[in-house]
A and B are shown apart, each in its own frame.
Chain A
Amino acid sequence: MRVTDRFSDRTSPRQQVADLYVACREGVYRSLITVGLDPARAQETAQDAFLRLYVQLRDGAEIENPRAWVYRVAHNIGVDTLSRDARESVMPDGFADSLASDHRSAEDELIGKEWTDRVQRAIRKLSTQQRLCLELRAEGLRYQEIAEVLQIRPSTVGEFLRRAIRQLRKWNLCDQDR
């Protein structure tokens, strides 16, 4: 679900945040898992980010793009948490644990374990930033929004995605006919 960037001035901060919360909490949660937070912390951090947005709006802050703001703040808190816990690694534990949870759909079984394992191996080769750019893009964020979340230039987002694509292509992921 895509959320409009600028909410109506007539909408109260509570309503704005509640609408955004319903639309984007899963996406924010997923992005935090991608960064490497464990599921419990990811959910807690996602909820916290929305509350912070509420406080800002309530206090009169002008936030041009609340969706990007929430992702950005959640990302910052997530990175900060990982940094404090000294848990950063090429393949963060939280992400690995989350994938290992084996919550697979029937469709997944149909497609075949071999293909998903191959994609998973390819994704493991990506840096956190590359993976996060892919994830946020798949979530529907624009390049400019991803740049705001990661506090980098849009061209750097493009470069992360290009490198991610190069890595994914090596694993020949596209031979899975659907």
Chain B
Amino acid sequence: MRSGSLNGSGADHPTREVLAALLYEGLVADEAEPVLKHLDRCAECTRRVDEMEPSLAAYARYRETVKIAEPGPWKDIWSEMRRVDAERGTIKFPAHRRQTVWGTVTGAIAAGLALVALILWPTGRSAEARAEVLLAQARKAAPAANPKKRVRVRTARASFVRPAVLHGPIPEDAEVQAKFEQAHYDFNDPLSASAYTQWREGLKSRSAKVTEDHDNAVIGTTTRDSSLIEASLTLAMPDMSVTRGVFRFADQETVEISVLPEMVGEAAPTVIPQIRPVAAAPVKSEEIPLPQRELKVWVAIDSLNAGAGAPISVEVESDGGIVVTGYSLTARREDALRASLDGIPGVAVRSADSGGAAPVDQHPGEPAINLSESIAARAHLLDRLASRFPPDVEASLPDVDRENLHAMRLKHAAQLNRDIDALWLELSRRRPLARTSAETHASADALVKTAVNVDRLVTTLYASTADSAASWPELGAELSRLRQLAAMYQRSLEPAR
């Protein structure tokens, strides 16, 4: 392992040796990423790389020299955008609108809303007044709490599903909850117009912005009086149900909460065995076999609810050392990571600072896209566990570790199946999907490949201005396959270890 990717000088520029290793020998992912992040923001080091390796400049020169086929005249984007807006009534857009989910809306409200369709409200007093009217209507239209209703909470580092209304703390929420509490925003029911109103009314100064069309109204509020500096709620028309909230905090962390479609005919919940905490006995690394130590690391990370999709990597080195790297973790989360790994011998914890960079994953904010990303991340995690703990390795583990491994796999397999069902329902709102698959064997590898393919298809379809009919059969077939693979995978875990 190369020690210290950056040279530790005042400017922390990578040494020439490190840049050469990046260019010619290759660095392991955990070493390469901080260097690449540095290059992204350091023109001086980029110039050094260009000087060291003239092939890059040669390519750039070639690119300028040999012209590719010139495109034809470009369309006038302004008229194209106007055309898209004009055709909007006939084009299928992502399903923002929730159909008869939580009660009905009065005829008076519906008629009133129809009149304001396609109005863009400016910021300022009129927007403030409009926001209050909309919130009052949403509070009035709010149905009784539905215990089956679920929301997905998504931050830069984690994504999880929870009940829409909480009646007690759940561990996944601890860090996010603290942020909301500090901002005096009710996190037990964050997607309620009441919670949003209460928070707004506690602000000394605020600025509102309202955007409306015939499908949605988005109410945005910005303030300097709170650690929650910007929050927006999306209301689906005409029933005024809240479908999404986006919350940006002063530390630039953004939390997105979106309603998941209700499950129809939900299967009996899988009983997930309890994962036992890692013992923190101060022993030498050579006294505990590597697989055992590595599993303890995975269990510890999982206990932070950071296993799937989290920017934490685990690498095992040739000398048996385990390096855990957290990317862009907050100080609080990094402390939690270090604390959870404390006591496991032979483990080094590193943090790769993004320098205030954007969250690792970009997400346009559609439930289907969020779900498919989460599915792909979880499939990757299951695949990683399968490759690190194949049957012979698993058999060598003590009982307690085997039980923990089994519980962890089962937990993620169950969540994977729930997410796939939710995605199926979400997509079915746009277009019926046919079940076509007949899989006979499920493996983590097949899960990953299919999940990644589904994610690619969903991303493409959901970013579309028009319904891409040709892609739906392929998506339906892949999602059918994924659904079957995931169900089989979970079943294979359930009978026995």
Contacts and interface: CB of A to CB of B under 8 A. Distances in A.
Interface in A26-51: 26, 29-30, 33, 39-40, 42-43, 46-48, 50-51
Interface string B354-387: 0001110010111000000000000000000000
A169 B55 contact: yes
A137 B465 contact: no
Nearest to A95: B68
Interface string B46-68: 00000001111111111111111
A42 B71 contact: yes
Interface in B243-293: 246, 254
A155 B29 contact: yes
B84 interface: yes
Interface string A110-144: 01000010011001000000000011011000111
B70 interface: yes
Most A CB within 10 A of own CB, among B78, B81, B457? B81
A62 B246 CA distance: 9
A171 to B, nearest CB: 9
B360 to A, nearest CB: 9
A162 B26 contact: yes
A19 B304 CA distance: 42
A165 B49 CA distance: 12
B220 to A, nearest CB: 9
A10 B470 CA distance: 37
Interface in B88-114: 93-94, 96
A108 B362 contact: no
A73 B460 contact: yes
B77 A40 contact: no
Contacts of A30: 68
Contact of B65 (A46, A51, A111, A158): A111
A105 B65 contact: yes
Contacts of A158: 22, 27, 32, 35-36
B69 interface: yes
Contacts of B33: 153-155
B460 A97 contact: no
Contact of B36 (A14, A62, A143, A166): A143
B364 A63 contact: yes
Contacts of B216: 59-60
A168 interface: yes
Interface in A65-112: 65, 68-69, 72-73, 76-77, 79-80, 84, 97-99, 101, 103-105, 107-108, 111
Given A101-B68, A153-B29, A165 B460 contact: no
B93 A55 contact: yes
Given A55-B84, A98-B68, A158-B32, A119 B463 contact: no
A61 B364 contact: yes
B81 A54 contact: yes
A60 B218 contact: yes
B53 A165 contact: yes
B36 A155 contact: yes
A67 to B, nearest CB: 11
B459 A76 contact: yes
A21 B55 contact: no
A1 interface: no
Contacts of A104: 65-67
Given A40-B72, A47-B74, A59-B93, A166 B24 contact: yes
A52 B77 CA distance: 12
B488 interface: no
Interface of A: 5, 14, 17-18, 21, 25-26, 29-30, 33, 39-40, 42-43, 46-48, 50-52, 54-56, 58-65, 68-69, 72-73, 76-77, 79-80, 84, 97-99, 101, 103-105, 107-108, 111, 116, 119-120, 123, 134-135, 137-138, 142-144, 148, 151, 153-159, 162, 164-166, 168-169, 173-174, 176, 178
Interface of B: 22-24, 26-30, 32-33, 35-37, 39-40, 53-72, 74-75, 77-78, 80-81, 84-85, 93-94, 96, 211, 213, 216, 218, 232, 234, 246, 254, 357-359, 362, 364-366, 455-457, 459-460, 463-465, 470-471
21 contacts: A39-B72, A40-B72, A43-B71, A46-B71, A59-B96, A59-B216, A61-B364, A63-B364, A69-B362, A80-B457, A99-B66, A105-B65, A138-B56, A154-B36, A155-B28, A155-B29, A158-B35, A162-B24, A162-B26, A168-B58, A169-B55
Given A40-B72, A59-B93, A99-B68, 4 more contacts: A73-B459, A135-B63, A173-B58, A173-B59
